[in-house]
C-alpha cells in the first residue's frame, strides 16, 4: 500500500535530492506527516505556525487540486500520486 | 541602469539576489522587486518624465529593466478618456476610461511583455514563452518577433479563434493545450523547470508584473499628477489590480505626487470565474479555486496567483468586488461602445458591468473621481457580441427601399 509523492526542486535539499518519495497510503495529512518523520524539515516548509498548509503551497492528488477535494483530509489511495507544487504563477 | 536592489518574498520577507526566479524557496510565496526609493526620488522628476518617450519607458526609473535597449513596440501612453455619457447612464460624476485597447497588440499585456522581454534579453535568454488566456499570447509572439527571439506560446485549445490567429501570425510556436488555463499554467511551471526559456509569467513574472504599474503612472500624469479617488480593475491573476495600487503609492513615495493617494480599489470578475469576488462576498479569508466557465476567457483563471493580494488591496482600500453574468458582460460591452465609442473585449465588459453594479450599490460614488481600466480590444472577442449585433437593416440599393426601412416621418430628414 504505497503512494508516490512528487517533490518540487525547492524541497529536494530535504529529500536528499530525490524528486519522488514513497509513502504509505492514507490521507494527504498522513502522507505529508510521514515526509516530516522520514525527512525532518518538511513540516515547517509546508505548514504555517497554525499548522495550516501554507497558502502558496498547492497539493494535488493525481491531477486534482486538493482544494477541490477534501483538503488535507483528502484520501490518498494505494498507487496514487501526491504532487507538491510551489506557488502558481501565470496571469 | 535600474534602481533595483534585489528581490523580496511578499509572504515572509526573505531577500534574494536579482535572478530569473519567482518563488520564495522557503515558503513558496511570490517574489517582488525591491527598489532603492531614495535613489529613484533623486533621479526622477515630472519634467524628466515629460521629456521621455511616449511609452511605458518614460517611467524607466520606476521599472526593473533598462530602457536602453528595451524590447519596445511602443506599449503604453494610451488615452485617458473623460466618459461623461457613460457616467450619466450610471449615475456617476467624474468618470474616466483608461483605454488600453490602443496598445501595439491591443491589450495591456504589451506593458508587461515589453518589461519582461527586455529583462529576458538582459539575462541572456534566447527563447520567449508564456502561458496565456490570449492577450499575452498575442503580445509575447509579437514582441519576440520584434526582438528576434524564438517563442513558445501555450494557450487553452478552446480560445477564441481571433486570439489564435493574431498570435500565430507572428510566426512563433503556438501550442494549444487540451485543458483550461490553470492546466496550461501548471504545464508551463513544469516546462520552466525543464527548459532554459524566459517564461514571462513564470520565471520572469517578478519583473513582468511590474510593467502593470505604468497604468497607474500614466493615469496620474494624465490627470495632472493627481491620483483618482477610485479605480475599477478586472481581476484574472490579481496582479494588475495589485500593481496599479502599488504604482500610485510609489508615485507619492518618490515625490511625483504631492498628496498621499486616498485610492479606493475595486475589482471586477465574471460570475463564471470569480474566486476572489466570492471570497469578498462571503467575507472569507480563503480563496477557493474554481473551474472557469465564462465568455470572459481572458479573465478565466480559476487559481489566481495574486488573488490574496488583490483581495487585501480591495479590503484595505475600502473598495468592492462584483461577479457579473455573461449577459451583463455583453450588455456592458455595448453600453461602453454606445456611450463612449470604445469597443472593449469581454474583460472590459466585466469591468463596466462591475462599475455599473458597484455604482448601484453605492460603493462607487458620484462624488468620486473614478477611473475604469479597459484592458483589451473588442475585435479580439467578436464572438461575444456577434449573435446580438448586426446591421440595423439590409435593403436594396434604392431610395424606396431606404424609405421603407426608415420612414421619413420617423427619422430626421437631411437638410
Instruction: Check pLDDT > 70 for residue B415.
Output: no
Rounded to an integer, what distance in angstroms lies between the CA atom of residue B404 and that of residue A72? 69
Asked if A45 is an interface residue toward chain B (Cβ–Cβ < 8 A), one would say yes
Determine contact: A88 vs chain B, CB below 8 A. yes
SS3 content of chain B, % helix, strand, coil (to 5): 45, 15, 40
Q: Taking CB atoms and an 8 Å limit, are B305 and A58 in contact across chains?
A: no
Q: What is the ipTM of this complex?
A: 0.84
Instruction: Tell me whether residue A91 is in a domain.
Output: no
Q: Which three cell numbers stand for residue B142?
A: 509579437
Q: What is the mean pLDDT of chain B?
A: 96
Give the confidence band of B413 by pLDDT, cuts at 50, 70, 90: low
Instruction: Give the structural domain span for A69.
Output: 2-86
| Chain B residue closest in CA terms to A13 | B25
pLDDT for residue B401: 97
- The answer for residues whose C-beta is within 8 angstroms of residue A3's C-beta and 6 or more apart is A22, A23, A24, A25, A31, A76, A77, A78, A79, A80, A81, A82
Q: How far apart are CA B289 and CA B275, in angstroms?
A: 6
Q: What is the CATH number of the domain that holds A18?
A: 3.10.20.30
CB spacing of B289 vs A67 below 8 angstroms: yes
Sorted by where each begins, the domain ranges of chain B are: 80-105+209-388
Q: What is the pLDDT of residue B410?
A: 82
Do the Cβ atoms of B27 and A56 come within 8 Å? Answer: yes
Please write the tens of the pLDDT for every residue from B324-383.
999 999 999 999 999 999 999 999 999 999 999 999 999 999 999 999 999 999 999 999
Candidates 3.40.50.2300, 3.30.9.10, 3.30.420.40, 3.40.50.1100; CATH matching B80-105+209-388 = 3.40.50.1100
When divided into structural domains, chain A yields a total of: 1
Contact of A58 with chain B, judged by CB distance below 8 Å, is answered with: yes
pLDDT score for B193: 81
Cβ separation B30–A10 shorter than 8 A = no
Question: Considering only alpha carbons, which residue of chain A is nearest residue B134?
Answer: A91
Residue A32 lies in a domain: yes
* For residues B27-35, average pLDDT: 94
Contact B237 A87 (CB under 8 A): no
pLDDT > 60? residue B414: no
Amino acid at each position: 500500500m504505497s503512494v508516490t509523492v512528487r517533490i518540487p526542486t525547492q524541497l529536494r535539499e530535504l529529500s536528499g535530492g530525490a524528486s519522488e518519495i514513497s509513502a504509505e497510503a492514507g490521507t494527504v495529512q498522513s502522507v505529508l506527516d510521514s515526509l516530516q518523520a522520514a525527512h525532518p524539515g518538511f513540516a515547517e516548509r509546508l505548514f504555517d505556525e497554525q499548522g495550516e498548509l501554507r497558502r502558496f503551497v498547492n497539493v494535488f492528488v493525481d491531477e486534482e487540486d486538493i482544494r477541490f477535494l477534501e483538503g488535507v483530509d483528502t484520501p490518498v489511495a494505494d498507487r496514487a500520486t501526491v504532487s507538491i507544487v510551489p506557488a502558481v504563477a501565470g496571469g | 541602469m535600474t534602481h533595483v536592489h534585489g528581490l523580496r518574498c511578499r509572504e515572509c520577507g526573505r531577500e534574494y539576489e536579482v535572478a530569473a526566479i519567482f518563488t520564495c524557496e522557503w515558503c513558496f510565496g511570490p517574489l517582488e522587486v525591491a527598489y532603492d526609493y531614495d535613489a529613484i526620488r533623486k533621479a526622477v522628476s515630472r519634467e524628466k518624465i515629460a521629456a521621455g518617450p511616449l511609452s511605458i519607458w518614460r517611467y524607466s526609473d520606476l521599472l526593473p529593466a533598462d530602457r536602453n535597449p528595451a524590447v519596445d513596440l511602443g506599449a503604453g501612453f494610451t488615452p485617458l478618456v473623460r466618459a461623461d455619457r457613460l457616467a450619466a447612464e450610471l449615475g456617476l460624476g467624474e468618470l474616466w476610461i483608461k483605454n488600453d485597447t490602443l496598445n501595439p497588440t491591443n491589450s495591456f499585456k504589451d506593458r508587461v511583455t515589453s518589461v519582461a522581454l527586455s529583462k529576458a534579453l538582459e539575462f541572456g535568454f534566447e527563447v520567449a514563452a508564456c502561458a496565456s488566456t490570449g492577450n499575452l499570447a498575442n503580445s509575447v509572439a509579437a514582441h519576440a518577433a520584434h526582438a528576434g527571439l524564438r517563442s513558445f506560446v501555450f494557450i487553452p485549445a478552446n480560445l477564441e479563434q481571433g486570439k489564435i490567429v493574431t498570435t500565430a501570425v507572428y510566426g512563433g510556436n503556438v501550442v494549444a493545450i487540451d485543458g483550461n488555463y490553470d492546466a496550461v499554467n501548471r504545464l508551463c511551471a513544469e516546462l520552466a523547470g525543464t527548459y532554459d526559456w524566459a517564461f514571462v509569467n513564470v520565471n520572469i513574472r517578478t519583473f513582468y508584473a511590474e510593467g502593470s504599474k505604468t497604468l497607474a503612472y500614466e493615469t496620474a500624469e494624465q490627470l495632472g499628477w493627481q491620483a483618482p479617488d477610485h479605480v475599477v480593475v478586472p481581476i484574472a491573476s490579481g496582479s494588475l489590480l495589485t500593481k496599479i495600487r502599488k504604482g500610485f503609492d510609489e508615485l507619492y513615495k518618490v515625490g511625483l505626487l504631492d498628496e498621499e493617494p486616498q485610492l479606493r480599489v475595486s475589482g471586477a470578475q465574471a460570475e463564471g470565474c470569480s474566486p476572489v469576488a466570492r471570497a469578498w462576498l462571503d467575507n472569507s479569508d480563503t480563496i477557493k479555486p474554481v473551474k472557469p466557465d465564462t465568455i470572459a476567457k481572458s479573465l478565466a483563471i480559476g487559481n489566481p496567483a495574486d488573488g490574496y493580494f488583490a483581495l487585501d488591496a480591495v479590503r484595505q482600500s475600502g473598495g468592492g468586488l462584483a461577479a457579473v453574468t455573461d449577459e451583463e458582460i455583453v450588455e456592458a460591452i455595448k453600453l461602453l461602445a454606445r456611450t463612449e465609442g470604445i469597443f472593449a473585449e469581454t474583460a472590459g465588459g466585466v469591468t463596466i458591468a462591475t462599475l455599473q453594479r458597484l455604482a448601484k450599490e453605492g460603493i462607487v460614488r458620484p462624488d468620486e473621481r473614478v477611473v475604469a481600466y479597459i484592458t483589451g480590444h473588442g475585435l479580439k472577442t467578436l464572438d461575444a457580441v456577434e449573435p446580438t449585433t448586426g446591421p440595423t437593416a439590409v435593403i436594396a440599393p434604392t431610395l424606396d427601399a431606404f424609405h421603407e426601412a426608415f420612414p421619413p416621418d420617423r427619422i430626421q430628414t437631411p437638410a
